């Protein structure tokens, strides 16, 4: 399952839309919209991150992804397991 934010993050690896869209085909990945409740949770988690000294300005997308998994009851595959476990403890994290 991917949402528009995941699609955008992965798209930077592709030279053109057509190749990206074919690779992230709906035949392989279910496409889900981002839930409004997830937007609220992402904002609150990002606020807590900043209050604890977080300095990355481009990491809000990670919080959207974690929040989507949290409110939809999804598992999350990531190489940044610590952040998701810290801010979204109800999410089952799969880390290679």
Same domain, residue pair 39 and 80: yes
**Does residue 87 contact residue 48 with C-beta atoms inside 8 Å?**
yes
Same domain, residue pair 9 and 54: no
Nearest in space to 43 (alpha carbons), one of 59, 62, 58, 63 = 63
Same domain, residue pair 29 and 42: no
Q: How many domains is the chain partitioned into structurally?
A: 2
Residue 25 structural domain: 1-33
Same domain, residue pair 42 and 23: no
Residue 32's pLDDT band, with cuts at 50, 70 and 90, is very high
Give mean pLDDT, residues 45-50: 92
Same domain, residue pair 23 and 4: yes
- Asked if pLDDT for residue 56 goes beyond 90, the answer is no
Q: Where are the beta strands (DSSP E) in the chain?
A: 76-77, 93-94
Same domain, residue pair 45 and 88: yes
Q: What is the mean pLDDT of the chain?
A: 92
φ/ψ (deg, to 5) at 49? -60, -45
Q: Across the strands, what pairs with 31?
A: 2
Secondary structure (DSSP) of 45-87: HHHHHHHTT---SSTHHHHHHHHHHHHHT--EE-S-HHHHHHH
Same domain, residue pair 74 and 51: yes
Same domain, residue pair 86 and 48: yes
Token pair, residue 47, equals 């606020």
Q: What is the pTM of this model?
A: 0.76
């Amino acid at each position: 399952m991917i949402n528009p934010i995941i699609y955008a993050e992965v798209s930077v690896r592709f030279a053109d839309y057509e190749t990206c869209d074919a690779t992230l085909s709906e035949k392989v990945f279910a496409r889900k919209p981002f839930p409004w409740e997830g937007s609220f949770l992402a904002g609150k988690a990002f606020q807590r991150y900043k209050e604890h000294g977080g300095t990355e300005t481009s990491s809000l997308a990670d919080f959207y992804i974690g929040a989507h998994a949290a409110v939809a009851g999804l598992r999350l595959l990531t190489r940044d397991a610590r952040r998701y476990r810290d801010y979204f403890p109800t999410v089952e994290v799969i880390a290679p």
